[in-house]
Amino acid sequence: MKIIFKMILILILCLYLAILSKLILFKYIPLSQIMNHFNFTYDEYHWRSNNFVPLKTIYFYLFLADINVNIRIENLAGNIVGFMPFGFILPLLAKKFQNLSTVALSTFCLSLTFELLQLVFEFGSFDVDDLILNTIGGILGYLPFKLAYLFIQRKMRHFNNPQF
């Protein structure tokens, strides 16, 4: 039964990563044009459209942007919510992912991979603030797992040592 549960979780993780890849990397690119982006040409405009300054985009969306509030929320919350499933699924797959620092580091690495792919292959723009928001999302996704784990552990302790 345990192996079936893990296999289902692995399938869910693969499906989630495929959807996340489509949303992050291929958001504006038709499938027919993806291969054209696998090059290493230097385009000065592309390199200037990236953000390497922490909190610059977050600050812009929160305080400076003269755009629709829905767009601001979609950009900020979307980066957080998009990585919450990763933080939830990972600790269910293996015990080594059942602590906060490992989940945070794994989420950061996944996010960094997406950002570097966007930077190198010009699928979008690199934004260091996405790394921050995505990592926060992974941490927030981990919290329901941890709370449920602590609740079950407490119930099991109470069940094994009843106080009459």
CB 135 within 8 A of CB 104: yes
The model's confidence at residue 142, banded by pLDDT at 50, 70 and 90, is: very high
What does the pLDDT look like over 78-127, one tens digit per residue? 999 999 999 999 999 999 999 999 999 999 999 999 999 998 888 888 99
CA distance 152 to 14: 28
CA distance 79 to 51: 15
Top-confidence residue, 123 or 6:
6
Q: Which residues lie closer than 8 Å to 117 by C-beta, 6 or more apart?
A: 25, 123
pTM of the model: 0.86
CB 50 within 8 A of CB 125: yes
Mean pLDDT value of segment 65-85? 92
The single-letter DSSP state of residue 64 is: I
> Two tokens at 130?
């996405």
